[in-house]
Every structure is written in structure tokens, then in C-alpha cells.
Amino acid sequence: MSEFLQQVVNGLALGSIYALIAIGYTMVYGVLRFINFAHSDILMLGAFAAFFLAPKAQAIFGAESVLGAISVILLSALICAAIGMLIEYLAYRPLRDRPKLTVLITAIGVSLLIEFGCQHPAVFGPNPKAFPKLFPAADYHLQGLTISTNDMVVLGSTLVLLGALWFMVQRTKVGAAMRAVAFNHHAAALMGINVSRIISLTFAVGSALAAVAGILYALKAPAIEPLMGIQPGLRAFIAAVVGGIGNLPGAALGGLLLGALETFAGGIPGVSNYRDGIAFAILILILLFRPAGLLGKLQHEKV
């Protein structure tokens, strides 16, 4: 029983990271109707930003301080928000009225550019780097259950961010504008909404969430490297589709579900070797039986 609960804790921790990334995918899909393949690389850039900022924060706040960790995470999120807006401005905005496929291919191009640009020795280099400890780590034992501060930070920050995002989207003017743009670009523009600014902002919010997720992921992973974003990025994308793409609660649900399933599959001998394939198998099954995802609504194409 305790082993089962342990797996639940691990699954929730992994799943909430997926959920944070998945929300970025879903938000961008909501306003622009395309998969931002570069999202998984923003996550990597977030981890690297934290990697370079951490020594600076240590010099100011002292080693492994909570204040230092928070400032590192916030600054990395800001940097990634700026990068996300920049990518949208340079690569996706010129293609706004072009066919979907063109934008999708461009997104793949941007993703490859970031991945291989960062692998170049002049940037980060291809070798893995040990990620610094941002805050004091400890394990808490509770009736045979081990919960690390790491897991608690992951779960806590995911909850806080999801709450903040929900508030922003549902209760503020900007959030209403975002929902309007997602619903219909042209009508939103007619209502006096600056569509380009809202799209830019969506990229900023999504990228900031990805940066936080990247740092949380890096804290669990042994090391960071320029291709580290691909696997969690793909999982998160699948989570977004499973939950119903364009649907925020769906993305969170999908992320948690996928994290849990993957953790449990990893614990079963024989199945664990196929871990990398499981997420895709789930995706294909979901798309076959519920093409719009668990919480999504199917939209029929109109002529």
C-alpha cells in the first residue's frame, strides 16, 4: 500500500510538471491554432537561465536560500517570457495569415534552431551540466512514505501557478481578451482588442510557465543539456491533446494523468523498457476514440 502511495506522490510530482508545460501548448493552440514545437526548448532555456543565474543569486542571498530560489525562478521566467515573445514576433507573426502547415513547419525549424544552436560549443555545448541545488533539500518520512522538499515545491508551485492562471484567464480583462481571441480573431479585433498584443502576451505567459516547469524538471533530473526539453515537451504536448487541446483544465488533467500512468508503468517490470512508447500509445488510443480529447469539444469544419 505504501509503495502504491509512493508511486502516487511521484506521479503527481511528475504530472504537475507536465501540466505546467501542457498549459503553454494549449494556450498557444487556443489563440493561434498551431502546435508551438519550440515550447519544449523554452523549457530547456528556462533551466539554463536558472543554471547561470543561480551562482549570482548565491552571491547575494547566500547558498540554498528560499529568497534566492524564488528570485532565480522569477528572473528565468521573465527571460523566457521575453524569448517567447521574440520568437512569436520574428518567426510566427510574418506567417499569421499563411496556411497552418507553413506555420507548423516553421515551428519545427525554430525548435531545431534552438536545440542545435545551444548544442554548439560557443553557446552551451552538448555536454550535460550538473544543475545546482536552489533551496535546502530534505526528505520527510511519513509512515513509510518518502516525500522530498523537491516534490513539495513542485506540487506547491504548480498549484499556485494554476490558481493564478485561472484567475488571470477568468477574472481579468486581459484574460477575457485572450478568451475572445481564442474564440474568434476577427470578432475580437472588431471589439477593440489588440489581437497581436494578446497573442504576444499569451506566448509570454506560456513561456514563463514553461521556464518554471523547466527549472522544476531540472531539479529532479541529474543534469541539464540542450536536448533535455524534447522528452518532457512531447509528453506535455500529448497531455494537452489527451485533455483536449485549447482547454486549460484539460491540459492540467492530462498532465497529471500522463505523469501518473508513466510512473506506474515504470514500476512494472517488463513494461518499464517501453516507457518511452507508452505516452504515444495513449495518445493514439485517445485520438482514435475521442479525437477532441477528454474535455474538448469536437468542432466540425464548416465550408
Partner 1 sequence: MSGLGAKRFLLAAIAVSIVISAFSHRFNSYYLGVALDVGIAVILAVSLNLINGHTGQFSLGHAGFMASGAYVSALCTIHVLPLVDPRLQPVVFCASLLVGGLAAALAGLGVGIPSLRLRGDYLAIVTLGFGEIIRVVLQNMEIVGGASGLKGIAKLSTLAWVWAFAAVTIYTVAALVNSTYGRGFIAVHDDEVASSAMGINPTRYKVVAFVVGAFFAGIAGGLYAHHKQFLSPTGFDFMKSIDIVVMVILGGMGRTAGVAAAAVLLTVLPEFLRGFAEVRMIIYSLLIIGLMILRPQGLFSFGERRVKAS
- The footprint of partner 1 (CB under 8 A) covers 34-35, 91, 94-95, 98-106, 108-113, 115-117, 119-121, 230, 234, 237-238, 241, 273-274, 276-277, 280-281, 283-284, 287-288, 291, 301, 303
Q: How far is the CB of 9 from partner 1 (least distance, A)?
A: 27
CA 135 to chain centre: 22
Distance in Å, CB of 61 to partner 1, minimum? 37
The nearest distance, CB 26 to partner 1, in angstroms, is 13
- CA of 131: how far to CAs of 12, 71, 286, in Å? 22, 16, 35
Hey, is 37 helix, strand or coil? coil
Quick one: 193 or 283, whose CB is closer to partner 1?
283
Q: Which is nearer to partner 1, 68 or 226 (CB)?
A: 226
- Between 143 and 273, whose beta carbon lies closer to partner 1? 273
Kindly state the smallest distance separating residue 200's Cβ from partner 1, in Å. 18
Q: How far apart are CA 188 and CA 286, in angstroms?
A: 32
Least separation in angstroms between CB 98 and partner 1: 7
Comparison of 103 and 211: residue with beta carbon closer to partner 1: 103
Distance separating alpha carbons of residues 123 and 94, to the nearest angstrom: 27
Mapped onto helix, strand or coil, the DSSP state of residue 128 is coil
Pairwise CA distance, residues 44 & 233, whole Å: 10
Between 149 and 231, CB nearer to partner 1: 231
Q: Which neighbouring-strand residues pair with 141?
A: 146
Which CB sits closer to partner 1, 190 or 288? 288
Burial bucket for residue 70 (CB in 10 Å: 0-12, 13-18, 19+): middle
Q: In the structure grid, which three cell numbers stand for residue 271, read together?
A: 513494461
Give the whole-angstrom CA distance, residue 192 versus residue 83: 27
